Amino acid sequence: MPLVQPVGERCSLGRPIAAYVRDVMAAEPATRGTVLIPETEPERMWQRLLQNQRGAIVAHAVRKETDAVICRLRFRLF
């Protein structure tokens, strides 16, 4: 599948990705959609609190608007 850049509002991330997933799944209704969300997980707790929560935002938007399977892949930074 080619790399695409969803177009959306400047600061919005979840809704454009959910809309793209919904469009792809509508084009091929017999297939099951899977969304892989890579995330970094720092070593220390205080670093985790400061990390961006984009993975959770995207997962929530996709879960709310589609029936795709969501896999959040966490990579530990040690």
Question: What digits encode the pLDDT tens for the residues 43-60?
Answer: 887 877 777 788 888 999
**69: pLDDT strictly greater than 90:** yes
Q: What is the mean pLDDT of residues 14-42?
A: 88
8 pLDDT band, cuts 50/70/90, is: low
Are 59 and 18 spatial neighbours (Cβ–Cβ below 8 Å)? no
23 CB-near residues (< 8 Å, 6+ apart): none
pLDDT value at residue 70: 94
pTM: 0.75
Indicate the domain borders of the chain: 34-78
User: In which band, very low, low, confident or very high, does the pLDDT at 64 lie, cut at 50, 70 and 90?
Assistant: very high
